[in-house]
Amino acid sequence: MAKKKDIPEGLFERCPKCGFSVYGKELEENLWVCPKCNYYHRLSSDKRLSTIIDENTFREYDRNITAADPLNFIDMMPYKDRIESYRDKTKLTEAIMSGVARIGGIEVCICVLDFTFMGGSMGAVVGEKVCRSIDRAIKLRSPLILISSSGGARMQEGILSLMQMAKTAAAIARLSNESLPYFSIMCDPTSGGVSASFAMIGDINISEPKTLIAFAGPRVIQQTIKQELPPGFQSAEFVLEHGMLDIVIEREDLRSTLIKLLKMFGKTYGKSSKKD
Amino acid sequence: MPGVKSKRAFPDFEKPIVEINEKINAVIRKDPSSPELEELNRKRNSIIDDIFSRLTSYQKVQLARHPMRPHTMDYIEGIFDDFVELHGDRKFGDDKAIIGGLASFKGETVMVIGHQKGRTAQENIERNFGMPHPEGYRKGLRLMKLAEKFGFPVITFIDTPGAYPGVKAEERGQSEAIATNLKEMINLRTQMIVIIIGEGGSGGALGIGIGDKILMLENAVYFVCTPEACSAILWRDSSKAEQAADTMRVTAADLKKFGIVDEIVSEPVGGAHWDYEKTFGVLKKRIGYNLGILKRTGKEKLFEKRYNKFRNMGVYEENGRS
């Protein structure tokens, strides 16, 4: 393919779906949605945040929580080395970023899973950071927003990763007992142990169009039933139709919708909302 | 051992046990007081000791899946009285892969709920191999809520390869059903005991697996995904299941070490399938003991402890230290 000589490499990004090349800045202004085919690029956690929160309001917490290797797990490479390689590749510390930010001026506790770090998989770090964010939301009496993008539990942490489902659901139960609002935003893909724990039990379940939302992924199902899957199976629209989502919304409208919702829940959080 | 007659049901490593048992039975049929018997029994025990002293993780997986192993209904019949099965989720249907109902335990009313596998092909089709659909989890939750309302303790039996990965299960919200159960079980205002009796398959097991005390049979296993699936995904080679089972740490001893399981319940020599009565007897005592502890614990303290138990699961480093 011919390259344009006068523009340095990397400034153009190709759409993985239609192949259309677009100037990086233009793609960013379009919130990483392909202007030609409307394909939603998967977003890294920092890009995702930038599409939602007020500029420069994110304060990151719990960056110092990192993966251990309690099983001394080795598959095709040692788990420790795998973690290292993802840290180098993504410049992230883990598959989640968590902290406090403002949306439309309203302070929220927020976590973003990052699919580029081991498929956004949930091990003990993701579980702990989600739970600490919930603890923080209870302490600050602020709303909680969890943005998922994950293949599910992290197999390299064995049964301990499965238990993160119970752990995060337990913390959500606490938040719920405090009557603080929790908005779950599901991004492509949200499946397995993440969809079957905190992601599916938002007070409001929100997704972007065409997001894959599943318990078992399509390949696993196809292997089990040995039949063609129905068209659109496990897409956000399909899941909405089957009653598991409140809202499917375009990326450009997500922020304004969140602000609207946060305002409507206004009496439920903040210092004056303390339950007796 | 009901249902299964074929020797093929036994995994290879168990064949020497099956053979010596057949020999013993043949001798007993001829002469129940034969002097040979003492020697044969000694030999049987030494064969079993030898096999069990070097049992691999994957062999434990095979034991946990053993078709002759007692299943939930066997435990209910063997340990409880007056079981009345209750059906349906009152929303969609009745899932036969999860059974539940009221029963009497030493005179006290309890709610028992568990995955139900089959033994014959026919039974397995009916029970969907113990793999529930969402309505199974919703039935489980309905029964738990019923127990909560009347203050009955809940006892769940875990034995499933996993929640069913199928089109209908996805349509009806498999993820939502499991996630909701996890959240609600943490908040359930009654005593809860979980017993892993066979195969603890991933989210499908956990969906009825939250409790105040987690007991696990000696030869049961519990994993985030089956060793076969783990092998296919991480090694990209489905023949590495044995290695995967080792690496994943799936045995009762492993889970006790990680603090997931509170107590390991010992099985008769050779495994639960060789002596149902003994298995039931031991488990009945452990249920009674643990239920006693839970009933003596104040309710608020109980719920606080349950929350903390799950809140503290997982190992990570903080500032480089674990």
Evaluate whether B208 touches B140 at the Cβ level (below 8 Å). yes
Q: How confident is the model at residue B9 (pLDDT cuts 50, 70, 90)?
A: confident
Q: What is the mean pLDDT of chain B?
A: 95
Is A173 inside a domain boundary?
Answer: yes
User: Any idea which residue has 């375009």 for tokens?
Assistant: A250
Q: How confident is the model at residue B3 (pLDDT cuts 50, 70, 90)?
A: very low
Alpha-carbon gap, residue B72 to B159, rounded angstroms: 8
Could you give the angle at the alpha carbon of B305 between the alpha carbons of B302 and B309, nearest 5°?
A: 140
Token pair of B27, please?
């001798």
A218 touches chain B (CB under 8 A): no
The verdict on a CB contact (< 8 Å) between A161 and B224 is: yes
Alpha-carbon gap, residue A119 to A122, rounded angstroms: 9
The verdict on a CB contact (< 8 Å) between A216 and B174 is: yes
- Give the residue-averaged pLDDT of B312-319: 95
Q: Which residues contact B171 (CB under 8 A, 6 or more apart)?
A: A242
Evaluate whether B95 touches B285 at the Cβ level (below 8 Å). no
pLDDT tens-place string over residues B255-274: 999 999 999 999 998 999 99
Q: Do A27 and A74 have their domain in common? A: no
Question: DSSP character for A44?
Answer: -
- Give the residue-averaged pLDDT of B173-202: 98
B225 touches chain A (CB under 8 A): yes
CA distance B264 to chain A (A): 16
Query: What CATH number is given to the structural domain containing A75?
Result: 3.90.226.10
Q: Do A37 and A148 have their domain in common? A: no
Token pair of B47, please?
């064969």
Q: Which residues contact A219 (CB under 8 A, 6 or more apart)?
A: none
pLDDT value of position B240? 93
* Chain A residues within 8 A of B222 when measuring between CB atoms: 159
pLDDT value of position B6? 59
> What percent of chain B stands above pLDDT 70?
98
Q: Do A75 and A37 have their domain in common? A: no
Q: Do A33 and A165 have their domain in common? A: no
Q: Is the peptide bond before A231 cis (omega within 30 degrees of 0)?
A: no
Alpha-carbon gap, residue B304 to B291, rounded angstroms: 17
Is A2 inside a domain boundary?
Answer: no
* Chain B residues within 8 A of A135 when measuring between CB atoms: none
CATH superfamily for B61-311 is 2-enoyl-CoA Hydratase; Chain A, domain 1 (3.90.226.10)
Q: Do A102 and A220 have their domain in common? A: yes
Evaluate whether A148 touches A120 at the Cβ level (below 8 Å). yes
Q: How confident is the model at residue B209 (pLDDT cuts 50, 70, 90)?
A: very high
- Give the residue-averaged pLDDT of B250-259: 97
Which residues are paired to A178 by β-bridges? none
Q: Do A71 and A177 have their domain in common? A: yes
Of chain B residues 242-261, which have a CB less than 8 A from chain A?
247-250, 254-255, 258, 260
Ranges of chain A whose pLDDT falls below 70: 1-10, 275-276
pLDDT value of position A6? 54
Q: Do A35 and A63 have their domain in common? A: no
pLDDT tens-place string over residues B96-114: 999 999 999 999 999 999 9
The verdict on a CB contact (< 8 Å) between A159 and B247 is: no
Alpha-carbon gap, residue A185 to A165, rounded angstroms: 17
pLDDT value of position A85? 97
Could you tell me which of B127, B131, B114, B11 has the C-alpha nearest to residue B67? B11
Dihedral sign, Cα of residue A167, residue A171, residue A172, residue A174: positive
Domain that holds residue A86: 42-271
pLDDT value of position A225? 85
Of chain A residues 159-178, which have a CB less than 8 A from chain B?
159-167, 169-174, 176-177
Centroid of chain to Cα A8: 31
Dihedral sign, Cα of residue B161, residue B166, residue B168, residue B173: positive
Domain boundaries, chain B: 7-54, 61-311
pLDDT tens-place string over residues A159-214: 999 999 999 999 999 999 999 999 999 999 999 999 999 999 999 999 999 999 99
pLDDT value of position A10? 64
The verdict on a CB contact (< 8 Å) between B260 and A128 is: no
Q: Do A19 and A48 have their domain in common? A: no
Burial B178-202 (b: 16+ CB within 10 A, else e): bbbbbbbbbbbebbbbbbbbbbbbb
Q: How many domains does chain A have?
A: 2
Q: How confident is the model at residue B152 (pLDDT cuts 50, 70, 90)?
A: very high
Dihedral sign, Cα of residue A150, residue A153, residue A155, residue A161: positive
- Given phi > 0 = left and psi -120 to 50 = alpha, else beta, which region is B203? alpha
